[in-house]
Amino acid sequence: MAQLITPRELDRLLRTGSVRVLDVRYRLDHPDGSAEHLDGHVPGAVYVDMETELSRHGRPEDGRHPLPPTDALQAAARRWGIHDGDTVVIYDDDRSLGASRAWWLLTRSGLVDVRLLDGGLRAWIAAGLPLETGPVVPESGDVSLAPIAEPVLSIDEAAALAASGVLIDVRAAERYRGEVEPVDPIAGHIPGAANLPTGAYMDGERFRDAASLRELFRGVGIVDGVAAAAYCGSGVTAAQAVFAAELAGLRLGIYPGSWSQWTNTPGRPIATGAAPAEITATV
């Protein structure tokens, strides 16, 4: 179940030494946040790299951020200093987009107590809490991770869900409609998918309350008992939607290949415009 922790609660945990903090600053236009981490981070926070630790390199048809293998993720988690049974708190500085990817990977690999910092780094600073500078290199942890314990959608399963259940595209509306595409080969969306952009779940840097989130998901047909999943550009920010759904008491799967895989796979239909069923091109 998704969990949030306030800056003051995290500050108290840090004083007891019973928490491992991860800094996952990542943006589409600035994927390497290591310099910003060195300039100032929550005390003791270890920098986590999206490109090399929370994903693996693959072929174009695998998507831009394929899921890392279990052994590689476990090696990274040990580098971060995580031990079995640790409380882990994750944050970033952009609507918990990168942080949610780390949360999803760790919880689906067997860690129980993984939380997101409510409001991210900006909330920590706004609370008047101190920052630390320089690198953080903890002693190696001994955490054991398991293979991801829930199904993730293949490209064919995503297509089927768009036709028979609810598949949501969490990219910006203009990318969904096919008006712009700054990264991937073709603009548009998966036919049948609804659009529920990442910012919809948030009030600034904080997640909306559970009731508001349930109403938001209900608006695209996601209610108890309905098969539903999310995709984005490369499988990273879809995890934020999963976190928001769990805050609302709902279940949401992920299509990790996302739009980057879809548009690099020949023969896949492309829809544009606001009407989900409008198919206007084929890859």
What's the CATH class of domain 155-282? alpha beta
- What pLDDT is attached to residue 277? 43
Residues in contact with 281: Cβ distance below 8 Å, sequence separation at least 6, in sequence order? 186, 188, 269, 270, 272
Residues in contact with 199: Cβ distance below 8 Å, sequence separation at least 6, in sequence order? 95
> What does the alpha-carbon distance between residue 208 and residue 201 come to, in Å, rounded to a whole number?
6
Domains 4-126 and 155-282 fall in the same CATH topology? yes
- What pLDDT is attached to residue 19? 95
Q: At what angle do helices 210-218 and 238-247 cross, to 10 degrees?
A: 120
**Region label for 85, one of left (φ > 0), alpha (ψ between -120 and 50) or beta (otherwise):** left
- What pLDDT is attached to residue 279? 46
How many whole angstroms from its chain centre is CA 281?
29
**Which fold does the domain 4-126 belong to in CATH?**
Oxidized Rhodanese; domain 1 (3.40.250)
Would you please indicate which residues are annotated as catalytic (active-site) residues? 232
Average pLDDT, consecutive stretches of 10 residues, N- to C-terminus, the chain (283 residues)? 94 91 94 97 98 93 95 98 97 97 98 98 98 97 94 95 96 96 95 96 96 96 96 96 97 97 96 67 48
Residue 244 CB-density burial (10 A; 0-12 exposed, 13-18 middle, 19+ buried) = buried
- What pLDDT is attached to residue 278? 45
- What pLDDT is attached to residue 276? 57
Q: Where are the domains of the chain?
A: 4-126, 155-282
- What pLDDT is attached to residue 280? 46
How many whole angstroms from its chain centre is CA 35?
21
